[in-house]
Amino acid sequence: MLVRKGKSRRLIHLGGALLCSLAAAGFVSACAEDTILEVDFVCGDGQLDGPETCDNDSEGCVDCQIAAGWECPDNECHSVCGDGIQVGDEECDSDDRTACDSACKQGTRTTGCDMTGYWITRQTDFSIDRVLNGLQTSTNWYVYKISQNGDTFSIDENLFCGIQVSGSVDVVLPEIGVKALMYRNAQDTTNTAQGPREGESVEESGSCRFSLERWYFLRGLDFDAVPPCAPADFSTNADLGSLRAMPTPEVPEGAVDTDGDGHLGMRWEVTGNASGVRHTVMRDWNEYSPDPEFPIAPNEIEFTSYSRFDNEERIFETEGCPPIGCGVLEALSDPSQTHKGRVTFRYLGQNLDDPRVAAIVGSPPHMDEAEDLATCTRVRNALPHKDSKDLGVKK
């Protein structure tokens, strides 16, 4: 990096302003004129001074100015994916989703609308909390290995990889919860009760008509409860309200300590307007269907589809309530009726030895729990949580 000395006057005017303040308070006899002193700054010393917009040893910082295609928050430079300028480790930077995904990594899928292969997904949904009436944005992550025959496809292998919520409060499922739920609510061939989840992907008028059937999820609930907490047959598309009543602290039958932390339900860590821990039981469903707002082109390596969901949740216990009460910490939410959910599918490749697959999926799913947890971490990093502001969604 070029090391250059210069002169900075940016901070000197504060001296005169301070003297004027002291004069007004009677500590000095007069308001002094500003005295401009020249102060050296050095490009290359790692310190932001004067006109520098960055000062680090990075391709994104040239002569202590941020280069095109980069951003340098906190003096750490990162390439800006999506600005149309290919820099750094970006393999591409284009909105052409048949060749470049939203992480600016290249890929190729030459199967039209056929879904066969490995995919990672980020499901984004919107809710309204019951206390502050604020917009909550939730993310669910999954890994899928899919096979298609004709117009229909089924899920051969699946991992659940976590949940994160942001908004009035921020909520995250900790690793013990991801580990506990990673293989539960299986959508693949390991689900002997329902069979693998199925969908449809058909080329019509130059685009793909995509859908995935409704699937139910139990979190902190007994899969063997009688009567059951989920429909015996998912294809009935039963409303949650038609199922058995959810367990409560007063009537806990059906609740289980799924994550093994010594508390019934699942552990959720809460920060933001309130901080603490809550233990809840939850059931929900999601389904994906075509929508004109989310067109899908053949051969896209990344596409977005319409997502719908519903959920029921009951709080069993909280930890760390603030002195003013547990209201915000206990705030649950209801699905928004005015905001469309969406799910992003990113194609990795056909086989585990494909470089795009190997970069995320470390080993065949269900073979090694530690490797699957590491895979889930990479999935969350590859498709990071986006809140409503990131998505340009307003309440």
- Looking at residues 257-262, what average pLDDT do you find? 97
How many domains in the chain? 2
**Residue 230 shares a structural domain with residue 134:** yes
Residue 380, domain member (yes or no): yes
Q: How confident is the model at residue 12, as a pLDDT?
A: 38
**Residue 39 shares a structural domain with residue 135:** no
**Residue 71 shares a structural domain with residue 170:** no
**Residue 61 shares a structural domain with residue 157:** no
**Residue 254 shares a structural domain with residue 376:** yes
**Residue 55 shares a structural domain with residue 121:** no
**Residue 153 shares a structural domain with residue 23:** no
Residue where a domain stops, chosen among 33, 55, 79 = 79
**Residue 288 shares a structural domain with residue 372:** yes
Residue where a domain stops, chosen among 79, 101, 127 = 79
- Residue 328 token pair: 């915000």
Q: How confident is the model at residue 255, as a pLDDT?
A: 98
Residue where a domain stops, chosen among 79, 109, 136 = 79
**Residue 337 shares a structural domain with residue 223:** yes
**Residue 73 shares a structural domain with residue 135:** no
- Split at pLDDT 50, 70, 90, the class of 17 is very low
Q: How confident is the model at residue 39, as a pLDDT?
A: 56
**Percent of the chain at pLDDT exceeding 70:** 89
Q: What is the pLDDT of residues 26-63, one digit of tens each?
A: 544 445 555 555 556 799 999 998 899 999 999 999 99
**Residue 50 shares a structural domain with residue 153:** no
Q: Domain range holding 338? A: 117-391
Residue 141, domain member (yes or no): yes
